[in-house]
Amino acid sequence: MFNFIARSLRIKLLLVFVIMLLAFSSVHLVIRQYWTIPQLVALEVEKDKKDIYKLNSALLRVYNELEMLVYDNAVWDELYNVILTRDLDYLETNFFIPKSFVSLKINGMSFFDQNQTLIDELAIDQNNNPLSSSPFKSLPPSLKKNLLISKQEMINNGQKTLFKQGLITLNDRLILFVSGSVLPSSGVGDLAGTMLVWSYFDGKIAHQLSEITQTTVTAAQADTFSATTPVIDFNQLDAQNHIRTQLSNIYVKFNDIFNKPALILSYPTPKRMFDDSPFEMSMVMALLMSLVILLIIYFILTVMIIEPLNKLKATVREVMDRGNFQLTTNLERTDEIGRLALLIDVLFNKVHVQQHALKHNNRQLKRLSDTDPLTGIANRRAMMQVLEQLTPSAMPISVIMLDVDYFKKFNDSYGHQQGDLALKHVAKTLKHHTRRQNDVIARYGGEEFVVVLLNTCQSDARNMAYAIREAIEGLAIEHKTSLISQFLTASIGVSCCDEFDNFSIETLFHQADSALYKAKEQGRNCVVDYNSEMHKHAV
């Protein structure tokens, strides 16, 4: 399966397009799931929070209307005197009018003196019928402290107008109340008492909230509400990351004056303005259009690229099978494929020339790899190749191993450039004394040289070594730091093998190296011939 895909550009293109389509879909899904939808949900949450704040503003507006009612009546000289004189007839005549309560959308009004003692009150039920007593008739001191205005609170407030408002549950009924200080018309003075107006939190207040928010608002007491229904705590609204649930309404909880859950307001969940499903219609249409576009592109690429490439492949294969480099691709195009075809035609014409040049270059490379770059003579590798190919006809074979005396001192004194020049002179001297075609001269390493003499006996090799030593010293290359001569000299070791059966490259070189070592021990600038007795021949 993988071989089939690897051998077919057409399948590769198709596979690339499929991968592109899948990648496009995956990227779109990831962006939609982890960026677009969360952003839309976040915007939706902010919008829902604004709606809840709008609902709270509507509730505050109801409070403000009652507060204005209290202010317009409690901060008034005439009522101030009525409370101080406890004029009940005046209150009955001017304040305790049930029809007025209906228009004001309240269920009761109570007046207390400065000691928080009830003076008089009127309460009506939900059917606008007067009640024998209100929920505020017999308040314990703890509730009076939270509902009514005290003299100490007035002193703390600079004897200015003071209000209290909130929610409270009395006699198992949720009540919305506003109380205010009874003061002279100036709004500043000693406290005469407290005026308190209240309303059951029922359908009429929910209707007011609906009119203000332009949506359907329903109200319920928190203690009668289902504990399993998800509710948003208004006091923790800013910390909420999610507002909506699977329910059709959004439920918001408000606390009473004791900061305990008291009221649940709900309104219909606004319609979601976006589709939160992973595959929405626009994405499906985009994928289908992408698929059509990719198929069109695939067809165009097949005609413009794959078919011409198949033709080029067929031509190259025919040339390889027949070996006829005179064939041409016959593709007359000016684009990249046309230029490729032209290059293939040029390549066919140059194959023969390139093959010839390759053979020549290989010979040159072999020559360079077998030559010491400094002296121009053979290197150690080339010499070893010659020795490995020897036959019995080369016997006897002799080796002359030469080492320039105190060459490190020479380099230190005259510099490496002069040292390189001296080595070149030594190599030239060796070539001058070995003119036979089958003699091998090689730089063995550093200042060491080796001369391999085929069909040369030990005495002839020794004589040549003497001649070489004299010729090197005769170069008269100054060497002031030498310990044995004022000129450059060399120590030489000679070894020889007469029979092919006893021939060993390692043994032959070891003998020559041992002889060279003996020459250095004997004071250098001499020749030592290695034989069974290690006879010494020194100058």
159-177 pLDDT, tens digit each: 999 999 999 999 999 999 9
CB 55 within 8 A of CB 209: yes
Identify the burial level of 246 via C-beta atoms within 10 angstroms of its C-beta, where 0-12 means exposed, 13-18 middle and 19 or more buried.
Answer: exposed
Residues 6 or more apart whose CB falls under 8 angstroms from that of 306 comprise 9, 10, 13
How far is it, in rounded angstroms, from Cα 204 to Cα 477? 128
Cβ-contact 197, 109 below 8 angstroms: yes
Residue-wise pLDDT tens digits, 388-411: 887 788 788 999 999 999 999 999
CA–CA gap between residue 289 and residue 305 (Å, rounded): 24
For residue 484, the model assigns a pLDDT of 93
Contacts of 431 (CB under 8 A, 6+ apart): 377, 441
Residue 188 has a pLDDT of: 95
Across residues 55-82, what is the average pLDDT? 96
Q: What six digits make up the tokens of 238?
A: 């800013």
C-alpha to C-alpha distance for 192 and 28, rounded to whole angstroms: 71
Contact between 378 and 442 (Cβ < 8 Å) = yes
Interval 73-128: pLDDT, tens: 999 999 999 999 999 999 999 999 999 999 999 999 999 999 999 999 999 988 88
Structure tokens at 165: 């408002």
Q: Residue 323: left (phi > 0), alpha (psi -120 to 50), or beta?
A: left
Those residues whose C-beta lies under 8 Å from the C-beta of residue 59, and which sit 6 or more positions away, are: 209, 254, 265
Q: At what angle do helices 505-521 and 380-388 cross, to 10 degrees?
A: 130
Distance separating alpha carbons of residues 313 and 112, to the nearest angstrom: 108
Distance of alpha carbon 133 from alpha carbon 445, whole angstroms: 127
3-class state of residue 455 by DSSP: coil
Q: List strand residue ranges (DSSP E) for 202-322, in order.
A: 218-221, 232-233, 249-255, 261-268
Q: Report pLDDT for 13.
A: 77
Q: What is the pLDDT of residue 533?
A: 38
Per-residue DSSP letter, 31: H
Structure tokens given for 299 = 């067809």
What does each C-alpha distance from 226 to 174, 222, 223, 264, 432 come to in angstroms?
17, 8, 8, 10, 119
Q: What is the mean pLDDT of residues 263-291?
A: 84
Nearest to 194 by CA among 156, 255, 145, 257: 145
**Strand, coil or helix: what is 297?**
helix
Query: Given this model, what pLDDT does residue 356 score?
Result: 58
pLDDT of 311 over the 90 cut:
no
Helices (H) and strands (E) in the chain, counts: 17, 16
Q: Provide the percentage of residues in the chain whose pLDDT is more than 90.
A: 57
Give the span between the Cα atoms of 245 and 447, in whole angstroms.
Answer: 94
Say if CB 135 and CB 147 are below 8 A apart. no
